Amino acid sequence: MGPITVKNYKKKKQINTEDQEPYLTFTRCGNRKEKEGGCDVKRRHLAHCIVHPSFEDTEKDRGCRPWTIVISSFVVQVIIHGIIWTVGIWNSVFIHEFHSTAAKTSLIGSLLNSMTYLGGLISSLLIFKYSCRTIICIGGALACFGLSMSSLVPCIEFLYLTFSIITGLGLGFAFTPSVVIICDYFEEKRSIALGIASSGAGFGSFIFSYINKALLDTLTWRSAIVANACFVVCIMVAGLVMRPFPIRNKENIPSDSTKYEKGMCLNSFMNESKQALSLFKIPSYSALCVNNFMMLFGYTMIIVHNVEFYKTIHFLDISHVPLLVSVFGISNLFGRIGFGIICYYAKGSVIAIYCACNLLQGLSVFVMPIADSFYTLLLCSGIFGFHSACMGPLIPEVTIKIVGPNNISIGYGFLLVFEGIGAMISPPLAGGIYDKTFRYDISFYMGGSFLIGAGLILGATHNMTEVYERRRKYNKDKPPPKDPIETI
């Protein structure tokens, strides 16, 4: 085979690789086909291709471009979580506007959350073919369309389609690429970058609680939804700024490279999906999936019903409800930045920190129903918001620690499925319990139990796996016992 020539997209010149050994990388240059020496090389998004060893793009060489990506991702997170995490406000509005039951209305919020996570999985698979920029823009357009149509619905059943399914899928399409592209641009400071970007979730929850309250006080609820649709346009604007990552080195190179020498690329969408199922053979990853299901089961139950729960507390003034929601959001913002910095300096303890956050979330939820003052509720809301921030910078880091950086896209995508299932089940269940008992404290105790259980399951499984691996490595490295006859 003749010399392989690839374009250096940064220096705009040709590199001859005849004298050096080629190796495998990920590429984000979109669909491209090159023909050199009779060999067709079809480059695809995240496909394996042969490139020159010197064709690298280090963090120092990229200048301020990675931090521009972080700011754009921050904006995307603000809009997405600003809509999702203030769904409790809309849940209260829809109950009174359509005179619906709590169980029937809470299905709107549960479907919105679950469709967001399902959309995240779909987008994680589409990343193998299209750029993050394209998927984010498509997601923003879809969410904008869903919210616009929600302002025209005549009954609550149509909101399941427009407000929940269409909008949720659009937000999910935009969410996963905004996380994955940061993992591509950063290696050394990845946890800090993820913390800054994901802090947009807390800021969105903080600011959207006041924005939606102001909109509902001055406009009709239909006009307020249209205003939210206008905010979603910012997702598309931020997505356009996210320039696709040019080249990403692949660390784990298969030993059999004959097919690559012939210029073949493993770009089959279905084959990548089947290979991804092997991740479930890792005990810690399976435990992480269960952890995410239980965590979102308890978390979404609180987020969807928190506003209605606050209204049932006899000593709480209804004007203080937006403040409680805002305290959750602002504490979540500081938590995401703080955990990003902590992970940067304590990378070896990231799973332990994550499990501890699950436990403290559950304990704060347990205290809410028995709180006897506004300030106790304020403290519990702040603790819950701060430690729920672990979902931002910690989950990607935990996933990378368990499955490796090369499997972050598909590994994170499968986690979103389990999160979506938990988010879809719990709010209607809590609403049904309230319709029967007219009490929310039972649901809060249940949600706290699931959050505590999530941390215990992952922590126990990971510790047992590490103990097993240490013993296996020790037995493997241990020299065989000497023959007693030879010793004599």
Query: Domain coordinates of the chain in residue numbers?
Result: 61-245, 276-474
Rg (Cα) of the chain, in Å, rounded? 25
Centroid of chain to Cα 467: 29
Residue type, 427: P
**How far lies 422's CA from each of 97, 170, 202, 417, 425, in Å?**
27, 19, 21, 9, 5
CATH of domain 276-474: 1.20.1250.20
Parallel, antiparallel, or unpaired: how do β-strands 23-27 and 5-8 relate?
unpaired
d(Cα 171, Cα 228) in Å, to the nearest integer?
13
d(Cα 175, Cα 171) in Å, to the nearest integer?
6
- The torsion angles phi and psi of 49, rounded to 5 degrees, stand at -140, 160
The parts of the chain modelled with pLDDT lower than 70 are 1-63, 245-276, 347-348, 474, 476-488
Q: At what angle do helices 221-241 and 167-185 cross, to 10 degrees?
A: 30
CATH of 61-245, one of 1.20.1250.20, 1.10.1740.10, 3.50.50.60, 3.10.20.30: 1.20.1250.20
Element (H, E) at 33: strand 32-36
Residues 6+ apart with CB under 8 A from 146: 162, 163, 165, 166, 167, 168, 169, 170
pLDDT in tens, 306-326: 988 998 898 888 888 888 988
CA torsion angle 425 428 430 435 (round to 10): -160
pLDDT of residue 183: 82
At 118, list the tokens: 């399902």
pLDDT of residue 185: 84
Decide whether 61-245 matches 276-474 in CATH topology: yes
- The torsion angles phi and psi of 23, rounded to 5 degrees, stand at -145, 175
Number of Cβ within 10 Å of residue 7's Cβ equals 15
Contact (CB, 8 A) for 436 and 104? no
